[in-house]
Amino acid sequence: MADEIVLYTHPMSRGRIVRWMLEEIGQPYRTEVLDYGTTMKAPAYRAINPMGKVPAITHGGTVVTESPAILAYLADAFPAAALAPRPGDKLRGPYYRWLFFAAGPLEAAAMDKALGVVVPEKMKGMAGYGSMADVLDTLESAVKDRPYLVGNTFTAADLYLGAHLGWGMQFGTIEKRAAFEIYYERLKARPAAIRASAIDDKLIAENPMPPGG
């Protein structure tokens, strides 16, 4: 199929975020499950993503890597799903703001915490995100007492941020706050989120493979 969507993923990876997005857009797609250290590093897949990492998608002749880029691409490629403000809409600004805040400061701060990296006080200005407290306070102000990040509509920015908050609160890299828990509970109850999680959990059960690589 000329415009077939193919998801390259592993069920224990950020590919879960992209699968959720694919379930939200409601278009048919095919899944290629790759193994860490073997098929993920093989020449055939490196021709798609030279980094040898997942997720990636192909859509016809278009290749997209990096989870936030994939979400932004799919939201624009399938506007009927209404997962992003239309081009020209002023809400496009806050949509991009929070999508890339999650991809930048939040992910960097959470990864540093997971790795035990402590940024010296005098170097915090160079770290980009400043401090984890700054990041979390900023996010709390964005999600507290409102259903979604952009107006009253769920977007790809909510999906990406929600996935990170859920993972981080589960594994302890993001502090549990009432505003985060209320926000995430709303998102994970979406039918597409439930379907996507069930698909990946089934893949894990059928192919128990430890993450690595």
CA separation for the pair 100, 151 (Å, rounded):
17
CA separation for the pair 21, 40 (Å, rounded):
22
The rounded percent of the chain whose pLDDT value lies above 70 is 93
Topology classification of domain 92-153+155-189: Glutathione S-transferase Yfyf (Class Pi); Chain A, domain 2 (1.20.1050)
Over the stretch 59-102, which tens digit does the pLDDT of each residue have? Answer: 999 999 999 999 999 999 999 999 999 999 999 999 999 999 99
* Residue 128 confidence (pLDDT) above 80: no
- CB 108 within 8 Å of CB 128: yes
pTM above 0.85, yes or no: yes
| CB-CB neighbours of 177 under 10 Å | 17
Q: Where are the domains of the chain?
A: 5-82+193-206, 92-153+155-189
CA separation for the pair 4, 58 (Å, rounded):
8
CATH code of the region 5-82+193-206: 3.40.30.10
Over the stretch 18-62, which tens digit does the pLDDT of each residue have? Answer: 999 999 999 999 999 999 989 999 999 999 999 999 999 999 999
- How many Cα atoms occupy the beta-carbon half-sphere of 29 within 13 Å? 25
Taking the alpha carbons at both ends of the chain, their separation in whole angstroms is 32
